[in-house]
Amino acid sequence: MKANFGAATSSSIVRVINTVILILLIKWIEEEKIGKNLIYLDEINDIERDKKNYNRDSHNVTCNRLLMSVLATILYLGALMPALQLDPMQHSYAQTYRNIINLSNVVPFAADPRIAISGNNVYVVWTEAITGGSPSTGGRNSDIFFSKSTDNGASFSNPVGLTNYKPGIKQEPKIAISGKNLYIIWSDYSLGAAEIFFIKSTDNGTRFSSPLLLGTSFGAVGETRLAGSANNVYVMWIGSANNVVAGAVLFKASTDNGSTFGNTISLSNNGIASKPEMSLAGNSVYVVWYNTTLRASGNVVDDEILFAKSTSSGARFSSPINISTNPNSFSARPQVAASGRNVYIAWFESGPGHSLNLANTYFARSIDAGVTFSTPIKLSNNGPANNYYNFASDTPKIAFSNISNNDNVYVIWTFVSSSPSSTPQNTDVFFSRSIDAGVTFSSPFNISNNPGLSGDASMIVSTNPKNKHADEVNVMWLDDTGGKSGERNIFFSQSTDNGASFGNAINISNTQGSSLLSQMVMSGNNLYLTWAEFNSGSYVILFRVVSLS
């Protein structure tokens, strides 16, 4: 896999340099009268072993031969590089794989694993069916299970059910950590409409509080969010408010480590809101979602990316503002990331006339803590795709550098390639970076770059332990390349030079079944990942540590 943004340019430069070197070699060979018609590079070695007298002093002969050998070596390697499809900046790294650990029981259905880490402690929560069921229903009776490790993931406690207070379906757990405080939420469908429950632990997951009901959700999968910072805990979901039966962004905050919560706040004013996301920076909370406006007939009038912020630890929020500002397209799946006073937003946007077979990734930034935003710029350059659904189901991801005075911003997304309607389409994970805090971005780079289906990507940026001035950009995705039909594995690629180049993709799950719903965190050189694995009609929650160096 080529792993450098300037691949084409680099190849051209290498060809030019090789040509110059070859001319110099021929010139020196003629001057030294070492025969004629040199064709193959390996003949240079024979010529260098030739002990003829060239009527030059031995010092000049030795120097010339040494220089010729060096240039010949460079020429040989330059010719070899295109064959290996490696660029000069591409790096390699070693991996040490620990054994895969099964955290759950072997059940008809287990899903939604979530992971958090603090020091030597690793925490995982998931949904597990306890009396049968299927992936479509989440199990006729399911609970939220929890397991922890106190030795960096070498071993885990037996799974504990957190939600056996009553029978029913509990799903969609989220986990957040702040210091020794561990926070977990889930959706309980026991009464039909989804109720949002919250528990906390103040002793690293040894004991948990009684469940606290925060509110009622619309019930759409993937619509809850949880975050913690210092003494603050924030919970967000989609529910009913402002005369909107199913589609208001609802927000609840705690300023005492989750002991109590304030009133529920509605952030959206009208229309139907979906897929809210939030990011924290100090006492500021930044929220984005996509908002659908309907005519009385039910037809879509507009789909836009809306943004609201709080500078009071979630006590009050600004009125929503429109970030996408394109009334002739379908805007969806926003993502937000905040660093200091900089706020970055990325989203998918359809083609003109709400065309769903042509979509691109857009980006906007604020440098004044969300007061104003730049005009959106298009990061991708996609052609038509037959199946927009797969493309739309994978939210763009944003990450930024943690290094002081470093303005690097990174964005990844999934694109469905164009193909005839009768041909299975290929999806790949693309990457773009900015080195000027989001003013400009590099051309898209295909990280997965394979014939299979690649998607459900995530990204973490950490500081290179061997170079404190460089970012490590870690990208993980699901991929069916090399597997049986319908079976996916977890692939991973890493950059250690601020996203300028990436190593070849590696299969880090490498299991017999199909890997789903993968999650990862980084700490030092260790990558901690968990996922749901489907094999022979059953599901398990698996865990693995990969050490990178």
Average of per-residue pLDDT values in the chain: 77
Going by pLDDT thresholds of 50, 70 and 90, the confidence category of residue 39 is: very low
**Close Cβ partners of 56 (under 8 Å, ≥ 6 residues apart):** 32, 64
Q: 242-301, pLDDT tens digit by residue?
A: 665 568 899 999 999 999 999 999 998 777 888 899 999 999 999 999 888 765 555 556
Q: What is the pLDDT of residue 245?
A: 58
Average pLDDT, stretch 338-353? 88
Average pLDDT, stretch 177-197? 89
Give how far the C-alpha of residue 531 lies from the chain's centroid of Cα atoms, to the nearest Å: 15
Q: Is the pLDDT of residue 227 over 90?
A: yes
Predicted TM-score (pTM) of the model is: 0.79
Q: Which helix (H) or strand (E) holds 172?
A: strand 170-178
Going by pLDDT thresholds of 50, 70 and 90, the confidence category of residue 152 is: very high
Average pLDDT, stretch 33-58? 33
| Cα–Cα distance, 267 to 320 (Å, whole number) | 7
Q: What is the pLDDT of residue 488?
A: 85
275 in Cβ contact with 317 (< 8 Å): no
Q: What is the pLDDT of residue 194?
A: 86
215 in Cβ contact with 250 (< 8 Å): yes
Going by pLDDT thresholds of 50, 70 and 90, the confidence category of residue 325 is: confident
| Cα–Cα distance, 64 to 55 (Å, whole number) | 13
Q: Which residues lie across from 129 on neighbouring strands?
A: 142
| Cα–Cα distance, 499 to 273 (Å, whole number) | 34
CB atoms within 10 A of CB 109: 22
Q: Return the amino acid letter for 143.
A: D
**Close Cβ partners of 109 (under 8 Å, ≥ 6 residues apart):** 127, 128, 129, 133, 134, 135, 138, 139, 142, 539
CB atoms within 10 A of CB 495: 26
Q: What is the pLDDT of residue 272?
A: 84
Average pLDDT, stretch 152-164? 91
Higher pLDDT, 140 or 74: 140
**Close Cβ partners of 549 (under 8 Å, ≥ 6 residues apart):** 93, 94, 95, 96, 525
Q: Is 519 exposed, middle or buried (0-12, 13-18, 19+ CB in 10 A)?
A: buried
**Close Cβ partners of 494 (under 8 Å, ≥ 6 residues apart):** 93, 472, 473, 474, 475, 502, 503, 548
Domain boundaries, the chain: 7-84
Average pLDDT, stretch 378-390? 61
Q: 461-507, pLDDT tens digit by residue?
A: 988 888 888 899 999 998 887 766 667 888 899 998 999 999 888 88
Q: Is the pLDDT of residue 3 over 60?
A: no
Higher pLDDT, 516 or 62: 516
Q: 509-526, pLDDT tens digit by residue?
A: 877 778 888 889 888 788
Q: Is 27 exposed, middle or buried (0-12, 13-18, 19+ CB in 10 A)?
A: exposed
Q: What is the pLDDT of residue 62?
A: 41
Cα separations in angstroms, 325 against 304, 364, 422, 536: 7, 11, 36, 48
| Cα–Cα distance, 50 to 182 (Å, whole number) | 75
